[in-house]
Amino acid sequence: MATNLVNSLVDPELAKNIFGSEQGTEDISFADSVRLGEKFGKKMTARKRSGHRFAMTYPITQGPKEVTGDRLLIKCFKYQPSRTGLSERKDKGVVTIKGTDTPVTDSNNKIVKGDIKAFDFINQGGGADKSQSIFYISLPIPQEINDSNAIVWGDDSMNIFQLAGLNVARSMVGGKDKNGNEIDFPAAVSAISRSFLSGDSGIDPQTTNALISAISGKAINAIGGNLNINSVIARSEGLALNNNLELLFNGVTLRTFPFNVTFTPRSQKEAQVVLEIIRALKSAMAAKKNATQGQGGIFLRSPDVFTLRYLHNGKDHPFLNRIKDCALTAMNVNYTGAGTYASYFDGTPVSINMSMTFKELNPVYHEDYSDAIGGVGY
């Protein structure tokens, strides 16, 4: 049976027998776990041999009445840092004289085309290194599962003076006057102010007076005053600057996924699996100090990361949401899950409640919703 178990985790058709199926699952020994890792092409490290097995599933045996066909599959991988930078590539285009935009011409005065250097910006977020798996955990799907997507929008305001200054700044970038001289920013602002406040500007007198009051307040602030422009305009003309309030997109957020799992071991084998599941998760979420003693070196290495999948009869769930690579940010284990402490003869608690909080390493973007993503998407 152990041989069939090892093969089942390699053969997708037989994997149903381990990670949720009508036939149920069986226990796997440390020796079989080592063989399983080698079959995947990953040698078992000392940590895997001493701390926990490669594949862990709870419960280790299931009857037909206990199986819903839905499972939560947790895979642990080494963390792969993000990659940012420039990637050089060659494109076909117009060849220019080095250091200029002047195109190179041949003896017939035709523009020369050839290989030119181009650069792509690389911005790949951190994630799981799928080539270095550490362990697999298969659990009954939790009773409360949900996903929450949120985007950051924020109020933003900009009054007429700020808008005018922005327009002046835009027109001045690389701009020159009619004589070919660089445009002077203060001079441009003064010219615009004079045109606004002139009698033939088309602005009604009350607005002109309000603008004069605002400019006067700014001038006083420049020499050490502390006047509120809206207060100056309100006192002088009974008006207030239109702040052009608008809701603007500010950024994205990272999603969190809390899970609660209750363990009630029914045998010594099952108790051992529960112990190893808890130990494996705790060790994977801990930072690495790269030393066996003391507080470690100058730097700490990132903890391991996880991929989470909802399964239905051994395949990706046809309805539930998908989850990107995650970090285990918090974990709490309550060894008195029944409300009072009770244990079996070997010391294993009768009921254990484990709560986990996973957080995605990267945000969800519109481009992630491809046709290949099933169910409700992310």
What pLDDT shows up at residue 6? 40
Which pairing describes strands 113-124 and 352-360: parallel, antiparallel, or unpaired?
unpaired
Residues 133 and 100 in one domain: no
Residues 136 and 21 in one domain: yes
This prediction's pTM: 0.70
Q: 213 exposed, middle or buried (CB, 10 Å; 0-12, 13-18, 19+)?
A: buried
State which H helix or E strand residue 213 sits in: helix 205-222
What pLDDT shows up at residue 347? 92
Residues 179 and 237 in one domain: yes
8 vs 122, higher pLDDT: 122
**Is the pLDDT score of 132 beyond 90?**
no
Q: Is residue 176 part of a domain?
A: yes
122 vs 22, higher pLDDT: 122
Q: Is residue 52 part of a domain?
A: yes
Q: Is residue 252 part of a domain?
A: no
What pLDDT shows up at residue 92? 61
What pLDDT shows up at residue 330? 97
What pLDDT shows up at residue 193? 57
Q: Is residue 274 part of a domain?
A: yes
Query: Residue 7 — φ and ψ, nearest 5°?
Result: -65, -30
Q: Is residue 112 part of a domain?
A: yes
Residues 27 and 100 in one domain: no
**Is the pLDDT score of 32 beyond 60?**
no
Residues 225 and 163 in one domain: yes
Residues 182 and 99 in one domain: no
Q: Is residue 352 part of a domain?
A: no
Residues 66 and 179 in one domain: no
Residues 140 and 29 in one domain: yes
What pLDDT shows up at residue 341? 93
The DSSP bridge partners found for residue 349 are 343
Tokens 């911005």 sit on residue: 123
Residues 192 and 315 in one domain: no
Residues 137 and 182 in one domain: no
**CA 293 – CA 113 distance, rounded (Å):** 63
- Other CB atoms closer than 10 Å to residue 4's CB: what's the count? 11
Given 244, 275, 296, the domain boundary residue is 244
**CA 332 – CA 260 distance, rounded (Å):** 9
Number of domains present in the structure of the chain: 3
| Contact yes or no for 326/364 (Cβ under 8 A) | no
Residues 181 and 35 in one domain: no
**Is the pLDDT score of 260 beyond 60?**
yes
Q: Is residue 332 part of a domain?
A: no
| Contact yes or no for 362/325 (Cβ under 8 A) | yes
Q: Is residue 341 part of a domain?
A: no
**CA 133 – CA 87 distance, rounded (Å):** 29
Residue range of the domain that includes 114: 83-124
Residues 51 and 31 in one domain: yes
